[in-house]
Amino acid sequence: MDKPINLTTTEFVTFSQGLRLDSGRFLTPLTIAYECYGHLNAEKSNTILVTHAWTGDAHAAGWSSPEDRKPGWWDDMIGPGKPLDTNRFFILCSNVIGSCKGSTGPTSINPQTNRPYNLSFPVVMVQDMVRAQKLLIDHLEIPSLLAVIGGSMGAMQALEWGILYPDVPRSIIPIAGTGRTPPMAIALNGLARQAIFNDPLWKKGSYKPDNPPVEGLALARAVGHISFLSSSSMEIKFGRRYSAKDGIFDFFGKFEVERYLDYNGSTFVKHFDTNSFLYLAKALDLFDAAWNFDSLEEALARVKCPSLWFAFSSDWLYPPEQTLEVADLLQNLGKPVEYHLIESQYGHDSFLVEPEKFIPILRRFLDHLAG
Amino acid sequence: MDKPINLTTTEFVTFSQGLRLDSGRFLTPLTIAYECYGHLNAEKSNTILVTHAWTGDAHAAGWSSPEDRKPGWWDDMIGPGKPLDTNRFFILCSNVIGSCKGSTGPTSINPQTNRPYNLSFPVVMVQDMVRAQKLLIDHLEIPSLLAVIGGSMGAMQALEWGILYPDVPRSIIPIAGTGRTPPMAIALNGLARQAIFNDPLWKKGSYKPDNPPVEGLALARAVGHISFLSSSSMEIKFGRRYSAKDGIFDFFGKFEVERYLDYNGSTFVKHFDTNSFLYLAKALDLFDAAWNFDSLEEALARVKCPSLWFAFSSDWLYPPEQTLEVADLLQNLGKPVEYHLIESQYGHDSFLVEPEKFIPILRRFLDHLAG
């Protein structure tokens, strides 16, 4: 019988030599938080690196304490017998740099000042996140990755693995990804930023950890949340239902969809640092796989391994056409590539809401790959 | 030769008896600001009522002073020889109640307190706006309307004319309209509201007119602006261009699309009252043509006149399917109805950006109607 993943522990490794970032600045020292599930085989050939989205963390599966209300963010996918099968694969997930979930980010201590970096933290790019992950696998003495898989910002990292380290991954699996963040997504992130900047408690990033800009961050999160949903998912989930507590003619009366966004925004504030949110939004906006290349095509020409792409019909943040553009370029370059458009009404979030729609394809792909 | 419209004057009429609103509250007295272009014919049969969108006003065409930088908001459409031809038609446009452009709204003096209403202003619905317009045409002794035409919130008013006063309009022409505001639009308006509520200068609506919540309103406007655009219009207009003034690794560096939204938000603040913005957002959210009826079908069964509907392919705020739903219901009810889906990349704003795409159909419709 398949036993679930036992209690998980987040591990940490610190690289005293740090990392040179794309901006030219050095991040020294550099700590990476990570979790592993399953066992590395003797040939060290069964590692799958899972890359997380904007507000994700290293805790992708299992329970970090018996009191947890929810398991890791991709527990549906990772475990014995699950698509990322811990009986066969060694699953590794690390927190991206710039985040606040254990890896070095704006809440970390700046060794120059012995105080938190806050806005003295350097701007990081998705490419920098991947370079930090490379330090981690080198440290773990893992020579190659069977697959790099992730959704949204995780898809960007998967693609960058193929471009920056073409000899390391044996496949990449970008889900709900894009080759470059479109202006609509930048504009929405711009709203989120401004919501935070407008909050007097933000204090140009120098808020005290126990007195963060809760209103600004909650509003910023609501912007993000809307962009992860879709018209049809909102119709299904909320329609035009009005809050039972409010009168229709109350000036402050709310529709259910507003209450939902309020609630999600206000709970998010308890779990995520505002400056990290801003730095990661910046990394998302700056993402362009053609960065440092003459064209997207030139960047993609570096990819050697097969890639498996999933896009979702109702995703208006990184629309399917954008995913298809990259897949088509790879195909034209003669690379082994599969593109699947998944019909789903749940917008960008579909990859988390309806994984069953792409899991059969993923299993087949991994079976073929693992031989 | 066709002479353009000369300098226009906004006229005002005050109804001392006021108006009973859908909420049950009375708005007394009630002032309406309006403009007219062209001449009412002897049969009083050539009036076209133009209904404006969220932040519009009565000044639809011509120049209100020689110093104006721009003519009225629909000057492309109204004038001698233009689609709404002032050589043939008498064009009337009034500011909606709840606005701040001359008709009674939150900035008006509350006769109970002799101070501005601010949040003591009653919640108004689109239906109330139309009832106020009916007071105006009765005052002007106009017995019927050749057409009621408007985009966005103007489309909602046009539809309500057909439902509330089926014997008055001889046609309605709703452009980029919907039968009920969808939850995505409500969610976006919810962001805009919260942006204002979060601004300490808002003071629960009691800000001084010379010290309004500029940051909150500018951000709220940016939310609206994004919803009026589309992915493709942003790609065309901005792409991923980065501000020439900023470094790519500046924490506060911006993309052009962000600069554009900032600029538009900050200029808007000079021209529009924050509480009015909120009251009109509320009216938009509450809009449901089925209000006070058992169903949308029952409401639409009241419409007698022909209707001409335009929807725009890239409009994701009031998507074409929503317009089509109403047009289909009207057709099933045996009403004369035309629905045209216009291919345009400019999102909800298409009706203002590319009027040439629907003008030929509109001209034919009006020619047929005017006989």
ipTM: 0.94
Output phi, psi for A350, to 5 deg. Answer: -50, -35
Report the chain A residue with the minimal C-alpha distance to residue B287.
A240
- Name the DSSP letter for residue A252: T
Token readout for A214 is 């809760």
Distance from CA of B172 to the nearest CA of A (A): 25
Are B186 and A226 in contact (CB < 8 Å)? no
- The pLDDT assigned to A205 comes to 97
How many CB atoms sit inside 10 A of residue A66's CB? 6
Residue A40 Cα, gap to closest chain B Cα (Å): 38
| Nearest-neighbour CA in chain A from B257: distance (Å) | 6
CB contact under 8 A, A249 and B194: no
Q: What is the pLDDT of residues B326-355, one digit of tens each?
A: 999 999 999 999 999 999 999 999 999 999
- pLDDT class for A242, splitting at 50, 70, 90? very high
**Catalytic choice (B57, B273, B288, B315):** B315
Q: What percent of chain B has pLDDT over 90?
A: 95
Pairing outcome for strands A337-342 and A307-312: parallel
Catalytic residues of A: 152, 315, 348
Q: Is the pLDDT of residue B230 over 70?
A: yes
Integer Rg of chain B from CA: 20
Report the pLDDT value the prediction gives residue B250, as an integer from 0 to 100.
95
| Alpha carbons A273 and A253: distance in angstroms, whole number | 30
Please judge whether B190 and A234 are an interchain contact, meaning their C-beta atoms are less than 8 angstroms apart. Answer: no
Supply the mean pLDDT for chain A. Answer: 96
Contacts of B237 in chain A (CB under 8 A): 183
Task: Give the closest of B183, B199, B285 to A234, CB-based.
Answer: B183
- Chain A residues lying within 8 Å of B236, measured CB to CB: none
**Each residue's pLDDT tens digit, A150-184:** 999 999 999 999 999 999 999 999 999 999 999 99
What is the structure's pLDDT at A156? 98
Structure tokens, B345: 């990349």
pLDDT tens across B23-81, in order? 999 999 999 999 999 999 999 999 999 999 999 999 999 998 888 889 999 999 999 99
Task: Answer whether B258 sits within 8 Å of A319, measured CB to CB.
Answer: no
Catalytic residue among B152, B233, B276, B314: B152
Task: Give the closest residue to B275 by CA, choosing from B208, B321, B228, B224.
Answer: B208
Q: Encode pLDDT of A340-365 as tens digits.
A: 999 999 999 999 999 999 999 999 99
**pLDDT range class, residue A370, cuts 50, 70, 90:** confident
pLDDT range class, residue A1, cuts 50, 70, 90: very low
Q: How many residues does chain B have?
A: 371
Asked if B103 contacts B97 with a C-beta cutoff of 8 angstroms, the reply is: yes
In chain B the beta strands, taken as DSSP E runs, fall at 11-15, 19-20, 26-27, 30-37, 47-51, 78-79, 84-85, 90-94, 109-110, 115-116, 147-151, 172-175, 307-312, 337-342
Compute φ and ψ for B58, nearest 5 degrees. -75, -20
Q: Which tokens in the block code for residue B160?
A: 């309500």
Q: What is the DSSP code (8-state) at residue A295?
A: S
Q: Summarize the confidence of residues A314-337 as an average pLDDT.
A: 97
Residues of B whose CB is below 8 A from A285: 255
Indicate the burial class of B213 (C-beta count within 10 angstroms; 0-12, 13-18, 19 or more): buried
Report which DSSP code applies to B238: T
| Closest-CA residue of chain B to A190 | B258
Q: How far is A283 from chain B (nearest CA, A)?
A: 10
In whole angstroms, give the CA distance from residue A306 to residue A336: 5
Angle CA(A17)–CA(A281)–CA(A62) in degrees, nearest 5?
75
pLDDT, tens digit, for every residue of A26-41? 999 999 999 999 999 9
d(CA A175, CA A348): 10
Catalytic status, residue B348: yes
Residue B141: its pLDDT value, please? Answer: 98
Helix (H, G, I), strand (E, B) or coil at A327: helix
DSSP B200-223: GGGGGGT--TTS--HHHHHHHHHH
Amino acid at B56: G
Name the residue in chain A with its Cα closest to that of B185. A231
Instruction: Please compute the mean of the pLDDT values over residues A58-67 and round it to a whole number.
Output: 93
Which residues of chain A make contact with B123, given a CB cutoff of 8 A? Answer: 249-251
A232 phi-psi bin (left φ>0, alpha ψ -120 to 50, beta other): alpha
Query: What pLDDT does A2 receive?
Result: 58
**Per-residue pLDDT averaged across A57-79, rounded?**
94
Give me the helix-helix angle, A274-286 and A153-164, nearest 10°.
50
Q: What's the rounded mean pLDDT across residues A255-266?
A: 94
Question: B239: which chain A residues are within 8 Å (Cβ-Cβ)?
Answer: 183
- Identify the residue among A188, A202, A257 best suited for mutation to test binding to B, counting B beta carbons within 10 A and taking the highest: A257
pLDDT value at A188 more than 70: yes
Overall pTM > 0.90: yes
Helix (H, G, I), strand (E, B) or coil at B54: coil
Beta strand extents in chain A (DSSP E only)? 11-15, 19-20, 26-27, 30-37, 47-51, 78-79, 84-85, 90-94, 109-110, 115-116, 147-151, 172-175, 307-312, 337-342
Q: Tell whether the model's pLDDT for residue B242 goes beyond 60.
A: yes
Radius of gyration of chain A (CA): 20
For residues A5 and B97, give the distance between their C-alpha atoms in angstroms, rounded to a whole number.
Answer: 62
CA-to-CA separations, B217 to A306, B205, B255, in angstroms, rounded? 49, 12, 21
Closest CB to B182 among A215, A235, A282: A235
CB contact under 8 Å between B254 and A190, yes or no, is yes
Which of A180, A198, A319 is opposite residue B199, by nearest beta carbon? A198
Would you call B234 and A184 a contact, using CB atoms and an 8 Å cutoff?
Answer: yes
Q: Tell me whether residues A187 and B250 touch, CB distance under 8 A.
A: no
Helix (H, G, I), strand (E, B) or coil at B312: strand
Q: What is the pLDDT of residue B1?
A: 44
* Residue % of chain A over a pLDDT of 90: 95
Q: Is the pLDDT of residue B142 over 80?
A: yes
Question: So what's the pLDDT on residue B174?
Answer: 98
Q: Please provide the average confidence, as pLDDT, over all residues in chain B.
A: 96
Decide if pLDDT at B314 tops 90: yes
Predicted pLDDT at B2:
58
